[in-house]
Amino acid sequence: MQSFLDIHTTSKQDLRSIIDGARRMKDARNGAPKGTPDTEQPLANRMVALIFEKPSTRTRVSFDLGVRQMGGQTMVLSGKEMQLGHGETIADTARVMSRYVDLIMIRTFEEATLQEMAEYATVPVINGLTNRTHPCQIMSDVMTFEEHRGPIAGKKVVWSGDGNNVCASMIHAAGQFGFDFTFTGPPPLDPEAEWLDFARAQGVNAQIVRDPAKAVEGADLVVTDTWVSMHDPQSAKERRHNQLRGYQVNRALMDRARPDALFMHCLPAHRDDEVTSEVMDGPNSVIWDEAENRLHAQKAVMRWCLGV
């Protein structure tokens, strides 16, 4: 049994195997209608629980569809329906769910919830997102970059904006896949030093550069994310906008990167806040491929977890 909890806790060899598997499955579906089952049905007779404490569009649809394409079935549950960690301990929920299903994906707030679920479940657990990390998204991002530009090892990735949970997983990926990482953003929103130290320990250059124009020089990939969360109060949203306005990804900033630099955003985006529509819809943007590849990358993660 293998749980997929974070990129930095999964071996480099296994991460590469997952990416390669995702590309094979995507290629095998080339031209097939979206509802067509995969030729292989590795999840036949398998039940996957999809638990959402946090609402979702891409995570819910991509996991649900991925299970169905591979011949399995899903049970979609909200944290409210389950009273997760309220009416029953997370450990007891994990024990019970393990008697019913073959695999658990959980999208939650606290990292401790994920860790407790994984500790007490006797089936694999997948991190669909926590407040601290978002590994499935970054597996999609690595896959997307390599589709367009070849191996990501040795490339320069620049993150502009908030050093949030998605940024954290990108830093983990820098260490595991061997690319250099530069964060540019205001000091209050820096990524955790622990993550930067992890990447550096793997032998890559992980740095903070305050000037976004200098940060993106020579970049092969520029990435950003929303400045505010749907749960943030209005006062926090205004403060974030004031802090981050100078880190917007616009045409002028992209022009400082390499001419063939890609742009990514995990979505949903607030157009003309963290990124301009000109960049989102421009020739450097691969955001729609990135979104699609959530499906393929997560299918490969599920197969790896179940060993099928």
Among the listed residues 69, 102, 136, 137, the single catalytic one is: 137
Strand, helix or coil for residue 169: helix
What are residue 140's phi and psi, to 5 degrees?
-65, -40
Edge-to-edge order in the sheet of strand 125-129: 73-78, 47-52, 103-107, 125-129
Per the annotation, the verdict on 64 as an active-site residue is no
Among the listed residues 46, 58, 134, 240, the single catalytic one is: 134
Distance CA 66, CA 61 (A): 8
CB atoms within 10 A of CB 123: 21
Q: For the purposes of burial, counting CB atoms within 10 Å of the CB of 254, is it exposed (0-12), middle (13-18) or buried (19 or more)?
A: buried
Per the annotation, the verdict on 137 as an active-site residue is yes
Per the annotation, the verdict on 289 as an active-site residue is no
Q: What is the residue whose two structure tokens read 């891409």? A: 58
Among the listed residues 294, 296, 298, 303, the single catalytic one is: 294
Whether residue 135 is preceded by a cis peptide bond, meaning omega within 30 degrees of 0, is no
CB 266 within 8 A of CB 292: no
Among the listed residues 136, 167, 266, 305, the single catalytic one is: 266
Q: Return the structure tokens found at 244.
A: 């981050």
Q: What is the dihedral of CA 272, 170, 125, 1, to 10 degrees?
A: 150
Question: Which residue, among 56, 112, 64, 65, has the nearest Cα to 84 in the 3D structure?
Answer: 112
Among the listed residues 107, 172, 240, 303, the single catalytic one is: 107
Per the annotation, the verdict on 225 as an active-site residue is yes
Question: Which residue, among 142, 183, 179, has the nearest Cα to 162 in the 3D structure?
Answer: 183
**Which residues are tagged catalytic?**
107, 134, 137, 225, 266, 294
